[in-house]
Amino acid sequence: MNQLTPFQSNFLPPNLADPRLKRRDYRMVIDGQSRDAASGDVVVRTSPGHLGKEVGAWPAASSDDVKSAIAAARTAFDHGPWPRMSGGERSALMHRVAELILRNVDELALIECLEVGKPIAQARGEIGFCAELWRYAAGQAQGLTGDTHNAIGENRLGLVLREPVGVVGIITPWNFPFIIASERVPWAIGAGCTVVVKPSEFTSGTTIRMAELAMEAGIPPGVFNVVTGYGPVAGQVLAEDDRVDMVAFTGSVRVGTRLAEIAARTVKRVGLELGGKGPQVVFDDADLDAAADGIAYGVYHNGGQCCISGSRLIVQNGIRDALLARLLEISRRVKFGDPLNEATRFGPMISAAHCDKVAGHVQKGMDEGAEVLLGGGAIAQDLGFYHSPTVFGRVNPDMSIAQEEIFGPVLSVLGFDTADQAVALANGTDFGLSASVWSRDLERAIQTTRRIRAGRCWINSVIDGTPEMPIGGYKRSGLGRELGKYGFDEYCQFKSLHMTLGSAPRWFA
Ligand code: NAD
């Protein structure tokens, strides 16, 4: 599997002597204080793009450490100032977090580059986007309202009170640590909740920094806690503990299902943002240059380690060859490799095990008889966990590479003749997170999109997002919606308040 591909000249080898490769040591944030694990144990992170180079270390929390964070969040919710402040006061402090994020873009981007293997230029853009997420949520936090019912009878008035759900446990994955935390924390605390965040054991640095910036901004102790360490120890407690009112989980279907089962025992609210197998449907009237560029972006962005990757190209047969010629030409040119290089478009896989898993999927595709048009394996494994851009042609819809989330730079190409066939293929997996449709005929594109069961759809674009618009999954891609005004509802309870005006109607005489 460790094969060199014909386009290895587009591989930018990492410099293992780069002076930016330094280890940073972090502590958890519990009740406004920096804390080590009671045991003193730590998780050490090495750069996935620079083999063996230590870049971070954070505490390996035990369940007792997590319980102390839950206690802090519970006390801050039940007795602290945060849920009792006006929306305007919360908003002002959250705006300050956004400003501090912007002031620290370079530092935060470097951490994500080294821990995740994210290209440095992409990482800077992502951190800037997170400031926008915080700013939007801060603005909305001031204007959150309930409802009134003024037409339920002359002697009756109804109020619907919006209240925060309580203590929220937020568990995040490794692929977009700062973005995913910024898509949840500001919505939860903006609604008046308090949170305990458990980032991935691979990439915890920027989430800890976010909580430190929140403290610096003046967000009170206990509102935003961060615990670090391994999922089955540090994460699971959040679903099990009675003092947590809700678990918001982003990650794999396997872990999400397990957490939902555990949370069901205490009737906790659960939000799940899980996996995807995004279709990119291209009709024969599409702008093929734009579509080829978008398809390459859709599958190679973040090395394909993206829940909304467009990992299935579903192309109308008449333009298949013309589109593939353009796509392969881009794929041969795409610069991948050293995440510290400004020219890099995608970096390494997150770990050796994940790189092996991606390579295993590719091998299975070959074994099942799919045609490899490009790439096909891990490369430069003496430097980092790199996998080449890989395109499979002539894929059958029942092959594993057409069904399973590979989470690597691997595209599967399927053909169709009619719109009905395209929709059936697009809907033909267990997932329903995102989908793209490429066509110059807007009516056709819109009608096709309406038939696709996915939470986030694009016409003539891919991997687009904005704080105003909701994200979330259909089918096994998840439950609930984040962002926009919908995101606040996830973290709120709605209480009915019925008022009787004048003399109350008598039931018993
Ligand atoms: P993962 O499920 O392995 O881990 C996610 C988080 O859960 C990590 O913090 C991990 O430590 C924790 N965890 C693991 N086992 C646990 C347990 N038993 N109890 C509690 N917590 C536990 O996922 P990953 O490998 O970090 O991320 C990749 C997956 O995330 C992909 O499937 C991807 O599609 C999905 N994802 C979804 C979205 C979305 O918005 N829908 C966004 C990004 C990633």
Which CATH number does the domain housing residue 395 bear? 3.40.309.10
Q: Is the CB of 252 under 6 A from ligand 1?
A: yes
Mark whether 316 and 404 lie in a shared domain.
Answer: yes
The question of whether 307 is a catalytic residue gets the answer yes
Q: Identify whether the C-beta of residue 152 lies closer than 8 Å to the C-beta of residue 181.
A: no
Inform me whether the pLDDT recorded for 1 exceeds 60.
Answer: no
What's the confidence (pLDDT) of residue 279? 98
Mark whether 148 and 270 lie in a shared domain.
Answer: yes
Q: Is the CB of 198 under 6 A from ligand 1?
A: yes
Of 467, 21, 27, 339, the residue nearest 207 (C-alpha): 27
Mark whether 409 and 365 lie in a shared domain.
Answer: yes
pLDDT band at 3 (very low <50, low <70, confident <90, very high): very low
Mark whether 124 and 196 lie in a shared domain.
Answer: yes
**CA 176, CA 193: separation in Å to the nearest integer?**
23
State pLDDT tens for residues 104-122: 999 999 999 999 999 999 9
| Residue 508: inside a domain | no
Q: Identify whether the C-beta of residue 384 lies closer than 8 Å to the C-beta of residue 48.
A: yes
Mark whether 263 and 304 lie in a shared domain.
Answer: no
Alpha helix segments (H runs only) across 46-149: 63-78, 87-103, 105-116, 120-141
Tokens linked to 29 = 């944030």
CA of 116 to the centre of ligand 1 (A): 14
Q: Identify whether the C-beta of residue 36 lies closer than 8 Å to the C-beta of residue 222.
A: no
Answer with the one of 416, 433, 459 that is the final residue of a domain: 459
Q: Is the CB of 251 under 6 A from ligand 1?
A: yes
State pLDDT tens for residues 172-187: 999 999 999 999 999 9
**CA 131, CA 99: separation in Å to the nearest integer?**
7
| Residue 383: inside a domain | yes
Bridge partners (DSSP) listed for residue 245 = none
Sign of the Cα pseudo-torsion (89, 94, 97, 98, in order): negative
Query: Which residues lie below 8 Å from residue 421, measured CB to CB, with a gap of 6+?
Result: none
Tokens linked to 133 = 């997420």
Average pLDDT, the chain: 96
CA of 136 to the centre of ligand 1 (A): 25
Map tokens 């093929």 to a residue: 288
Mark whether 310 and 449 lie in a shared domain.
Answer: yes
Mark whether 354 and 266 lie in a shared domain.
Answer: no
| Residue 2: inside a domain | no
**CA 116, CA 180: separation in Å to the nearest integer?**
13
State pLDDT tens for residues 459-482: 999 999 999 999 999 999 999 999
Q: How many domains does the chain have?
A: 2
What's the confidence (pLDDT) of residue 241? 97
Mark whether 317 and 218 lie in a shared domain.
Answer: no
Average pLDDT over residues 327-344: 97
pLDDT band at 7 (very low <50, low <70, confident <90, very high): low
Mark whether 233 and 291 lie in a shared domain.
Answer: no
Q: Residue 124's domain is classified under what CATH number?
A: 3.40.605.10
CA of 11 to the centre of ligand 1 (A): 29
Which atom of ligand 1 has the smallest separation from the CA of 258?
18
Q: What share of the chain is helix, strand, coil (3-state, %, to 5)?
A: 40, 20, 40
Inform me whether the pLDDT recorded for 66 exceeds 50.
Answer: yes
pLDDT band at 504 (very low <50, low <70, confident <90, very high): confident
Lowest pLDDT segment from 7-16, 46-55, 147-156:
7-16
Mark whether 250 and 324 lie in a shared domain.
Answer: no
Domain of 34? 22-274+477-494
Mark whether 292 and 194 lie in a shared domain.
Answer: no
What's the confidence (pLDDT) of residue 487? 98
Average pLDDT over residues 422-431: 98
